[in-house]
Amino acid sequence: MMGRSASASASILGEQTVNVRGDYVEERLRTGQVFLLSFTHASVDLNPSAIAALLPVFYLSLHLSIGQTAVLTGASQIANSLAQLPFGYLADRVSLRFLIPLGCATASIGLALTAFTHSFPALIAAVCLSGAGVAVYHPEGARTAGALSGRRKATGMSIFSVGGNLGFALGPITASAINSLHSTAAYLLFLVPACLVTVMFAVTHGIAIPEKHRSTLKTNVGQGQSAVTAALILLLLITTLRSALQVGLMTFVPLFEVTQRHHSAGFASLLMTCFLLSGALGTVLGGIAADRIGRTLTLFVSFVFSAPFLVLYYHTSGVLSAISLVAAGGFLISTFAVTVVMGQELLPNRAGVAASLTIGVTSGIGGFLVALLGQVAQHLGFIRTLDLLVLVTVLAGTFALWLTVLWNRQRQITPAL
């Protein structure tokens, strides 16, 4: 287990250490406030998964190609990525908690507007607006979650992340239910969660967090700094590939189920809901596993088990196929909170930027990769495209193993890790 000293946090690799004696450190986890924040996370993350579930609807109603459909997903992720880093930079300098309800509202408005578009460019614009709202939310949301978690940051971040995972899980089934009403105006129901978040902030006067003073950072450059840089690069590569895998599955699985297996869009949405609910459960178990066997080993194991279940999904049928996809989701998504915490440990004075990198930037690059994969899918077909996603899983697992070796080697130098 990666230990934590009360007086100093060796939150990065090698010789670089962080002295937190000068900080105000909230000892306790503010559970109630973190759960409220988790609800806002669910509200905002419902939107991108709802868009993914509606892809077959857009595909059929606007007569899109597979490539255009994949571009929609990529556009949302890229808009998220481009906007998130500057907001992360801002979140590390000033507290702007109004960005939390603003992000929720913007993401929901973009999603609702998709029903009122009648062309591919207009649809992309609505999807990008929704993605920008998600970007506005996450840096401030993740920074606030860390501040409310006291010394139990992994636990607090897991609670925060589970909210997002539940939102992702509810997105497809919510989209299916609203789409089944066969009414353009019904899409305005997507605004309800954002309205609830706004009311909650008005009633509670925002989510109060303890004052946190600037940390005193003591850095020994050289071998330690090189190790930190290498670890951060590997971590970002892994989170990028994991994002591409999740977004790719959320893009191609509904299309595969509807066009190749001739299931209904409702069935595809239900399948994705189960996939994402499994991921929410996996996030809780992944946090526990990270405390028991270590963060990097948990990361490696998640990819080791994801790959065979993905293969089983599209090479079998019926109940076994569905169970395999759900199991793959549980393992694949289980390390979301773990990688956010690892990023914040590597950049201890830049929690907002760390969240932007591990959540936003990597998601944007992953979405771009999925958009490229969509162009390839038009020529290879669904089975070969899913084969490529399995290869990506293996590649991510290889990087995770490399990170495990690097982390453990540097831990021998810095026992406080």
Closest CA to 104 of 62, 164, 60: 164
Instruction: Decide the pairing of beta strands 17-19 and 8-9.
Output: antiparallel
pTM greater than 0.85:
no
- Output the six-digit token pair for 401: 């193993």
pLDDT of 242 reads 95
| 102-131 average pLDDT score | 93
| 79-106 average pLDDT score | 80
Tens of pLDDT, residue by residue over 362-394, are 877 887 788 788 888 888 888 888 999 999 999
Per-position DSSP letters for 113-168, written without gaps between them: HGGG--SHHHHHHHHHHHHHHHHHHHHHHHHHHHHHTTT-HHHHHHHHHHHHHHHH
For residues 166 and 210, which has the higher predicted lDDT (pLDDT)?
166
Task: Provide the CA 279 distance to its chain's centre, in angstroms.
Answer: 11
pLDDT of 151 reads 67
Superfamily of structural domain 8-413? MFS general substrate transporter like domains (1.20.1250.20)
Per-position DSSP letters for 306-355, written without gaps between them: HHHHHHHHHHS-HHHHHHHHHHHHHHHHTTHHHHHHHHHHHSTT-HHHHH
Buried b (16+ CB within 10 A) or exposed e, 377-406: beeeebeebbbebbebbeebbebbbbbbeb
pLDDT of 206 reads 59
Rounded CA-CA distance 72/251 in Å is: 9
How many CB atoms sit inside 10 A of residue 100's CB?
26
Q: Answer yes or no: are the C-beta atoms of 77 and 135 closer than 8 Å.
A: no
Query: Does residue 400 surpass a pLDDT of 90?
Result: yes
Q: Answer yes or no: are the C-beta atoms of 132 and 80 closer than 8 Å.
A: yes
Rounded CA-CA distance 320/312 in Å is: 8
